[in-house]
Amino acid sequence: MPRREAEEDQLTTQPWAGCRSAQGTNLKGQIIMGASMLIATIAFPAESAEPPNFDRGRQLLEKIEDPSLFTFDEHEAELEELLPDLDSESGLVDEDGEVLIEYARRAGLVVINKLEEALDSRETTFLTVANYRLYISGGPSNGGSPTNATQAIWDAYKLPESVLVGMGFIPDYELPLSRANSRGASTPLTDTDVVDAIALGLGTSPDWSGATLAWIADTIGKVRNHPGGRDPREYREEFDEEHTIDPLDDSFLATYVNEGTGEVGEEENED
């Protein structure tokens, strides 16, 4: 992916980069902080019972038939760097400038091997945020890769996305983590799972009835206080305490608060 500084100066997260920066990021997962600090990260579900499945990635790599799924910036230069033992006269690209799939796969295998080594090395650490485990490597630099592990993580984003996901990694982690990208029934339910379930349930039901509200309430109760059979005022008070926000102060949430509940609360405040 080409280098590009982020257009925004504030703290930013780019899903393809897996990075945060006080000054900017680029598409290779590099953080630019005063042009002296470069950091690369890659995300994995924190609750996963299994580690990244690198063997699965190697198997999927062999099934890739389209070399355009690899996102090398400069095909020949990068492949020569990843495959230093190649004959200097080897033709790495076809007449249309596309990388030959044989060499793309071999380079991809090197990328996976280096990523596995990197995540197990002292050059890499990790932190857990919002159910993501973010593997991190980096350091001061004048523009090059500060550590081998940093380069290995950047290179991982050049793999086909299906391979990266097959190993368990999450390329786009601006999105809320859900069971779909957590790979397991043992993964705790999230808000995203519940919204997906409600949307699917309503969308596939030809008729809605009173029973519809019951199962929606039961589904919501998996990640929130169950909204059924409750005093409306108590429920709103609990919501305020849990989320430290009055829903009436939020332009979106306010439209969903029963007007009667709001009026009762206002009357009590006046008394």
The tens digit of pLDDT for each residue in 206-256 reads 777 778 888 888 888 887 888 887 788 888 888 877 766 777 787 777 888
Please tell me which of 31-45, 124-138, 194-208 the model is most confident about, judged by mean pLDDT.
124-138
Q: Taking a C-beta distance cutoff of 8 angstroms, is the pair 110, 83 a contact?
A: yes
Task: Give 120's pLDDT tier (boundaries 50, 70, 90).
Answer: very high
| Summary mean pLDDT of the chain | 75
Query: Is residue 7 predicted with pLDDT exceeding 80?
Result: no
pLDDT at 93 over 80: no
Please indicate whether residue 242 or residue 150 has the higher confidence score (pLDDT). 150
Distance CA 54, CA 226 (A): 41
Does the pLDDT at position 92 exceed 80? no
Q: Give the whole-angstrom CA distance, residue 49 versus residue 186.
A: 8
